[in-house]
Amino acid sequence: MAYEQRRQERQALVQHLQEQDWDVFGTLKFVNGRTIGRKTANKLLRSYWNKIDRVFFGKAAERQDMRMPRWCFAHEGADSENFHVHFVLKAATPDTEQMCCLLNAVWAQHHAQTAPLAKNWIMSAQDRAAVASYVTHEYWRMGSDTLLDELCWDTGHDNHTTDDNYSQQQAQRIKRAASPLWLRHSQQALDDQKAACEASGDLQMMERG
């Protein structure tokens, strides 16, 4: 009965995700997912997403609750000891690939315990159904604990603006968040991962646990 209930709950969660507007799929890892501990990991993740929101929305992130729509999922790996996080989000800029590189660069520099560029995985979502299934595939074991509610931002508000002055300020914040060198390294990591996916014939669901 418990298995059937979780199957139904997961199915509902997958359906909900597919109804949302997102176009980026990512994996955030730690230097050692076996020793990081959930409390420390969650603290680093909260501070990371707060920083990302400030980069893209400035003071409006706090004053107007302008945050990047995102859904975050804890995974523990096949042996239940390799903690990492998958997420989907709606890009806050028209250049989705640039955003993927920035997200990786900021995470890699965020703390001594956050993983280097090549260990993370952030790219445009090619198959939304497959992504929704993948990010929820540990629901059968973790239940609702896999959904990190405190990190998610599920909103119908439009967080985009065409105001030229706002766009210029955002561009300056992005430059401060990650140097051109870090962005180039992040772009190289992204290119390598895309090439690996293409070589394997699996554009989205290559094993990253």
- Checking if the pLDDT of 155 tops 70, the result is no
Domains of the chain by residue range: 2-200
Q: Residue 172 and residue 56: Cα distance in Å, rounded?
A: 10
Identify the pLDDT of residue 162.
Answer: 46
64-115 residue pLDDT tens: 888 889 999 999 977 777 899 999 999 988 889 989 999 999 999 999 999 9
pTM of the model: 0.85
- Least Cα distance to 120 among 134, 136, 132, 106 occurs for 106
47 compared with 172, residue with greater pLDDT: 47
Identify the pLDDT of residue 157.
Answer: 44
* Through-space distance between the first and last CA atoms of the chain, rounded to whole angstroms: 28
Instruction: Kindly state the tokens that stand for 85.
Output: 């996080």
Q: Residue 115 and residue 178: Cα distance in Å, rounded?
A: 16
Q: What is the 3-state secondary structure (H, E, C) of the chain?
A: CHHHHHHHHHHHHHHHHHHCCCCEEEEECECCCCCCCHHHHHHHHHHHHHHHHHHHHCCHHHHCCCCCCEEEEEECCCCCCCCEEEEEECCCCCCHHHHHHHHHHHHHHHCCCECCHHHCEEEECCCHHHHHHHHCCCHHHHHHHHECHHHCECCCCCCCCCCHHHHHHHHHHHHHHCCHHHHHHHHHHHHHHHHHHHHHCCCCCCCCC
User: Residue with structure tokens 């893209």?
Assistant: 56
Q: Strand order in 70-75's β-sheet? A: 70-75, 84-89, 24-28, 121-124
3-45 residue pLDDT tens: 788 999 999 999 999 999 999 999 999 999 999 998 999 999 9
